[in-house]
Chain A
């Protein structure tokens, strides 16, 4: 019997980035197959190729033994492949029924079709225990229910192969268990499931077979029953991670940041941060490791003043940070980042283009972005001292080796790496006591990566407290004194740098708590 899906030598490159290199493995019919890996391992790219969003540069995909050339998602659907994305493709103010019928109404008049579709949906719901009312409005449904609607859509379109992309990121434990029940029923009907995840417990709980990817390549394909979390963690992460950059002896000073019971719930009541507790001292780098989407971004937003927490205590240099206690009547975080900055908290944001720079401004104008209210940058008439800023900028461009070293160029025209150098230089220049750094080397070339790492280590040696969020374990290994691993909105474990163990970190990243 042919496998449901077989990848043969799939390769895909985006510019200089090799997203998939010679990926080959097969998935048996009726199997629940896990696809595991860190950020950037290539799992999403591979599934996008399977679903027709991209065309592979080379290699073949075989469905049921036949080579198929999948040009578009519509063709993929026609071939029986369904995908449940991380961001749902649902129209919120319409009913489940309307969402399912969209694009496949079966005629101009809806009335004639509705009854038939509704009946079929109820039948599918009953068979797979989806527990969804076809006449419910999407906006009224919980996130878990909305996900089931997405699954319902795929089944209605006769999907035989169902791809789920990090489905449990938005679910509670209860909802996850329900989802797995549905997947099992799906499997009983002879359908095939591909589950993209980084959570190792889920792999062990539900999958039959697993493929582990790393750096665009397949590093392991095993039967779930014959492997263990440790082995998976090792394969997921396991590569010699060297740290060759020099640093001063670890000698942390006074606590600069104290986080106690920090919680964040969004408007739908979903818990994004779950009672975080940690302390950051002067002269140390604490790295928050973990796959993205586990609350790290939200944590950075709160610590930089861009967002208010739901509850918790934040102390900076021993004093409570403004806005951290919601009872003090602060409605929103409007204008708060300025206060934080003036207190001495620097921020290199994760999303450089969205938050950190103004693309249309010149390089020079970006060198004081966020610091425009600083009195030191004003001349005697209260206007911006452009002469002083130009001098500063020239020095900055040289010290940080920004290329091209043209202060009047629109920063949008610089490469990602050079943009990042400007942002880091700017924050460093303000000499903060605490520096928040989010994914500092995302989209940055290799040479610049090392320069940025050396820069951060030098700051740490000079006594700055640095909180680093990074999905790149090499970066964490190179920079951290202590590592906190986050998963599911909480800290699953803490390690000192000399306790660095890829298996252990992999387990923590995969949701296994240190116990």
Chain B
């Protein structure tokens, strides 16, 4: 039973929705067992994350980063590669961004500085994914294990670099110095004061732009066509003339670049300095998003907003209901990966039976 044998309305819509509902159902059950009312929790969450303008602003702010990590994992997945390294790639991208800022933020105007930061983030993220990609293509080293290793190497390496080179003298915080004002991504609250003191910035529009470009490239360009062919059938891709080694490496590099760009929103949109572990799990959320959104631009956007809402709403929920700490949403993330990824065909036999009857 593969998704190829079922019509598109089933695989593109019904199955994903059923899978998501299953995950949420389990989550609701756990919340109930923790002594809280799932419906009430949902009300608080929605109220905080969607209905409240400041909360919505935070939701979209988080979503902006998640779009990029979600795209990173999605792009690799389309080529048949499971990139678990988005966490480390975003971290390393943060370094590239930081180096650009530290070098130029006193001399360049904002309209050159921000692109420099973006370029730095993309390049360093690409590099961190290029290495595992190269090893997979040329040496057959399994991309999953190597990217997990590179996550850990990044954690240690960045720890070393920040502590040794980036902490300004006299400071205690494991963080670089604050970047100049020219490095700040313009915030949307300048145009929409109702958003309050929230970090939602033009990075959100970059995220939308990235989704559009991804969508166009994957569905309308020959390159995207070849990537998808590779992911679906490597033998046939070879028949069709795809240079498989090169494609694996390029896809991984681009995937890493996208993950690196996630740092732009987080750092240049919000904190304005590089801090230890600033990524905070965004790379792994990217995996859940890619699986839940089925690597489709609209799916990725919706999933990113959903996770943004979970993070924002989860934070407020944890304040009101101490039995539902923010870590609950890490658990929900795992459930989503389980139902939307590993058990994606759980309901397939049922659907096929129903489709045959109808």
Contact = CB atoms under 8 A, between A and B. Distances in A.
- The answer on direct contact between A and B (beta carbons under 8 Å) is yes
Given A384-B220, A386-B220, A334 B245 contact: yes
B353 to A, nearest CB: 18
Interface string A109-149: 00000000000000000000000000000000000000000
A166 to B, nearest CB: 24
A355 B232 CA distance: 11
Given A338-B240, A358-B228, 7 more contacts: A333-B238, A334-B243, A334-B246, A349-B239, A356-B239, A377-B222, A386-B220
Nearest to A386: B220
13 contacts: A334-B243, A334-B246, A336-B241, A339-B241, A355-B235, A355-B238, A358-B232, A358-B236, A359-B232, A383-B221, A384-B220, A384-B225, A410-B8
Among A341, A347, A372, A412, the most chain B Cβ lie within 10 Å of the Cβ of A372
Among A339, A377, A386, A410, the most chain B Cβ lie within 10 Å of the Cβ of A410
B220 A373 contact: no
A357 B233 CA distance: 9
A369 interface: yes
B244 A334 contact: yes
A378 interface: yes
A341 B242 CA distance: 12
Interface in A404-423: 410, 412-413
B232 A360 contact: yes
Interface of B: 3-5, 7-8, 216, 220-222, 225-226, 228-229, 232-233, 235-236, 238-246
A369 B235 CA distance: 13
For the residues of B in contact with A, the DSSP-based class is: helix
B77 to A, nearest CB: 14
A372 B240 contact: yes
A370 B5 contact: no
A460 interface: no
A481 B188 CA distance: 74
A369 B220 contact: no
Given A373-B241, A412-B4, A361 B222 contact: no
Contact of A356 (B5, B232, B236): B236
A337 interface: yes
B225 A354 contact: no
B221 A382 contact: yes
Nearest to A377: B222
Q: Which 3 A-B pairs have the closest CB atoms?
A: A338-B241, A335-B243, A370-B240
Interface residues of A, number: 34
A365 B225 contact: yes
B240 A383 contact: no
B333 to A, nearest CB: 28
Given A354-B233, A357-B236, A382-B221, A335 B216 contact: no
B246 A383 contact: no
A337 B241 contact: yes
A372 B232 contact: no
A333 B233 CA distance: 17
A357 B4 CA distance: 13
A412 B3 CA distance: 11
Given A365-B225, A384-B221, A384-B222, A337 B239 contact: yes
Contacts of A357: 236
A384 B217 CA distance: 10
B233 A383 contact: no
A359 B220 CA distance: 19
Contacts of B246: 334-335
Contact of B225 (A334, A335, A349, A372): A372
A306 interface: yes
A437 B252 CA distance: 36
A360 B230 CA distance: 12
B224 to A, nearest CB: 9
A400 B220 CA distance: 26
Contact of A383 (B220, B228, B232, B244): B220
B233 A359 contact: yes
Contacts of B245: 334
Contacts of B216: 383
Contacts of B244: 334-335
A382 B216 CA distance: 12
Contacts of B229: 358, 361, 369
